[in-house]
Amino acid sequence: MMSSENRSHFSASCSSVSEKARAKINLALHVTGQRPDGYHLLDMLVTFADHGDRLDFMRSPADAFTLSGRFGELLAGDGGTNLVLKARDLLREAIGPLAFPVRIHLEKNLPVASGIGGGSADAAATLRGLMRLWGTTLSAETLAALALKLGADVPMCLESRPLIARGIGEELEPVPELPAFAMVLANPLKGVSTPEVFRRLATKNNPALSLTPSRPQAADWLAAIAATRNDLEPPARELVPEIAAMAAMLQARGALLTRMSGSGATCFGIFASMTSAEDAAAALHDARSDWYFQATETVSGGA
């Protein structure tokens, strides 16, 4: 049953809203164990890029879902497995019959299944956007539980700010000191199987994440991040050799730090400035126009 608070918010609903689904970047990913149900325990330092997908929501006589963007066609046959539609349906179930029909348009700018949380970010943006469109709110606990039903990455994408995530991704701790970074995202547009990456992981009880930057300056954070790991990168490189090639290309163009994000195959390079990141992305695109390169800036913890 909808609370009186939800009803009062619902009266303020609007006819259309838009949401950005920011790319999720795993600056560090430590695999620290495995639960009896098979889920791996992770310690992650996560930030979010300004670049991402875009979702538009508007009143409609009936539910509708449309796609555009560079990678939109890859989701055209997704049907009921699409996380955007699952998020819509779960939120509608939680809100009740006052959740009117909606047309959702997804501009898919991020590569699909690429280790930067594209689908999870889209689901989180759907929750945020539809709550605004439908003029309603849910308690933090209810919303977090709903997000986790959609996937382990969705709660952190709902936050879309720098944080440390532990457990299977549901234990979140903001990192307000983390600065913004100029960055280039690189992906060979070749899929990598997450289950196979975990299967090939030699050790599943690795040291936990420990971050101790002495000062909040970017250089100190870079040094602290460089001392961390992505435990999934070595097995992912075995499956997709292009990951090593992309890291080398980013380094050759002046990246201060390179690493794979998530389970791959996207890599990132952190650069000294947005100008140097944009120059590097342009040069890398010229060298491999069949791959994905995108200059962007991450959000700061204090944003």
Which neighbouring-strand residues pair with 30? 43
Q: Count of residues for the chain?
A: 303
How far apart CA 116 and CA 26 sit, in angstroms, is: 8
Which entry of 24, 53, 86, 231 is annotated as an active-site residue?
Answer: 24
108 belongs to the catalytic site: no
Catalytic residue flag (residue 43): no
Helix axis angle for 83-95 and 140-150, nearest 10°, is: 150
d(CA 123, CA 19): 11
Catalytically annotated residue among 43, 122, 153, 231: 153
164-172 contacts at long range (C-beta below 8 A, 24 or more positions apart):
164/43, 164/44, 164/45, 164/46, 164/209, 164/211, 165/42, 165/43, 165/44, 165/46, 166/41, 166/42, 166/43, 166/44, 167/41, 167/42, 168/35, 168/39, 168/40, 168/41, 168/42, 169/42, 169/44, 170/144
* Residues 107/72, Cβ–Cβ less than 8 Å: yes
Active site residues: 24, 153
